[in-house]
């Protein structure tokens, strides 16, 4: 009986509290790398700057089975988002992107508004949107030259989000803890 109780408890924790996640691919470098293990907390509040895990099936048109993507939230419901000369502006305010290099900002991000990228990339839903819709989020990968992210397919509905990514307390890499776990606290440039 204790084994059954233990298994049920483990399943409940994984379903409703937290679960381990493996990063797949280079889209979140330098902050998260391919095959890195992180934790996904199911009940954490989603902020601008949070790194999230979501099911891309039904979000990215190229995905037809459950596939977990790890990306950074750039805009929350109601936000306007624009990229200009490597800088990201949310609601007209410049964001703090010290989690990536100037080269990553300029080479990979491009110049756009939500409206221009939705039309240029033929989003299936929300084409021509000027704001992040209610109940949805706009996400980018940190390594924007290789990231397949919201620029190409649009917004992530809240019901597709599994949770917020955290680097474990045991990690000795302080910049990962800062740029993954706490970037949302310093989202806008001062």
The residues assigned a catalytic role are 27, 71
Name the token pair of 106. 């300029």
- How far is 53 from 34, CA to CA, in rounded Å? 14
- How far is 102 from 86, CA to CA, in rounded Å? 7
Q: Where are the alpha helices (DSSP H) in the chain?
A: 2-16, 102-109, 114-120, 150-153, 174-176
What is the β-pairing status of strands 37-41 and 87-90?
A: unpaired
Nearest Cα to Cα of residue 148 among 19, 46, 56: 56
Q: Which residues contact 157 (CB under 8 A, 6 or more apart)?
A: 59, 135, 136
- How far is 87 from 5, CA to CA, in rounded Å? 51
């Amino acid at each position: 009986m204790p084994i059954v109780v233990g298994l049920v408890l483990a399943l409940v924790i994984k379903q409703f509290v937290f679960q381990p996640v493996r990063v797949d691919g280079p889209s979140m470098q330098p902050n998260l790398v391919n095959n890195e293990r992180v934790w996904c907390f199911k009940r954490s509040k989603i902020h601008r700057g949070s790194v999230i895990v979501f099911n891309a099936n039904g979000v990215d048109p190229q995905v037809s089975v459950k596939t977990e993507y790890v990306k950074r939230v750039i805009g929350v419901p109601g936000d306007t988002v624009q990229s200009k000369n490597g800088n990201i502006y949310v609601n007209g305010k410049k964001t703090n992107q010290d989690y990536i290099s100037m080269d990553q900002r300029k080479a990979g991000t491009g110049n756009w508004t939500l409206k221009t990228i939705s039309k240029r990339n033929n989003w299936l839903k929300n084409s021509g949107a000027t704001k992040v819709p209610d109940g949805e989020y706009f996400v980018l990968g940190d390594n924007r030259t290789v990231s397949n992210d919201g620029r190409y397919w649009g917004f992530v509905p809240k019901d597709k989000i599994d949770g917020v990514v955290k680097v474990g307390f045991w990690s000795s890499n302080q910049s990962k803890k800062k740029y993954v776990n706490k970037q949302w606290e310093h989202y806008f440039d001062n």
